[in-house]
Amino acid sequence: MTSTRTLVIGNRNYSSWSLRPWALLVHLGLPFAERRLALGSAEFAAEIGGLSPSRRVPVLLDGATTVWESLAILEYANELAGGRGWPAARPARAESRAVATEMHGGFASLRHQWPMNIRARNRRVPLTAALTADIERIDELWSSCRRRYGGAGPWLFGGYSAADAMYLPVAFRFQTYHGGALAPESSAYLATALADPLLAPWVQAAEAEAETIAQDEVGAASD
């Protein structure tokens, strides 16, 4: 049977919130179709109100069910997959939810000063105190998870979970911008995240996108 489940996303190069549920749905092996609405386009303006109550992407349309907000989509995907979206053990599950929520509600400086720009390399922006604090907290969080759960697999909590999906756009930022020093455990995790073979379709499509969003193009040598 063809899936009626559709994830509505923005530009693959820039829409970090769209990438998160996409990555978890793919990792969980849940079938879904994708519909891309380019951010700022006439199509986005015309269509989004009929698809997403918040008028934002991502939004998951699953039959009569509409789920907006990336974290809510991760939870929905977890339920569809019988709980495989979070770690099996309750303490790790509680911690992974805290880690994911910290990303969803925080790291404002990193999100604004290092916008996700998957195809960009060698970007450099001033390392403000607030950006440095966000990078240090991410380093602490990643390395702490890896030290304690690394025996069970290469992801933050051993096996892949929604926490990894939440931090994937951060991994792409470390690939784009200079100045993000990481502890060895975090560097190894970054390498794992960026080498994930399941990401290839998203990355290839991001690289092929023609649109540019000026406010997300920061840190080039000519800036």
Ligand X SMILES: N[C@@H](CCC(=O)N[C@@H](CS)C(=O)NCC(=O)O)C(=O)O
Q: Considering only residues 8, 12, 51, 69, which one is a binding residue for ligand X as defined by CB under 6 A?
A: 69
Site for ligand X contains 139 (CB under 6 A): no
Q: Considering only residues 5, 36, 58, 168, which one is a binding residue for ligand X as defined by CB under 6 A?
A: 58
- Please say whether the beta carbons of 42 and 95 come within 8 A: no
Q: Considering only residues 26, 51, 70, 142, which one is a binding residue for ligand X as defined by CB under 6 A?
A: 70
Site for ligand X contains 17 (CB under 6 A): yes
Site for ligand X contains 13 (CB under 6 A): no
Site for ligand X contains 87 (CB under 6 A): no
Residue nearest to ligand X (CB): 56
Residues 96-115 that bind ligand X (CB under 6 A): none
Q: How far is the CB of 12 from ligand X (least distance, A)?
A: 11
Backbone angles phi, psi at 2, to 5 degrees: -75, 140
Q: How far is the CB of 37 from ligand X (least distance, A)?
A: 9
In whole angstroms, give the CA distance from residue 163 to residue 168: 9
Of the pair 58, 154, the CB lying nearest ligand X is at 58
- Give long-range contacts, CB 8 A cutoff, 24+ apart: 68-76: 70/17, 70/18, 70/20, 70/21, 70/104, 70/166, 71/100, 71/101, 71/104, 71/166, 73/7, 73/20, 73/21, 73/24, 74/20, 74/21, 74/24, 74/100, 74/162, 74/165, 74/166, 75/162
The contact set with ligand X (CB under 6 A) reads: 10, 15-18, 39, 56-58, 69-71
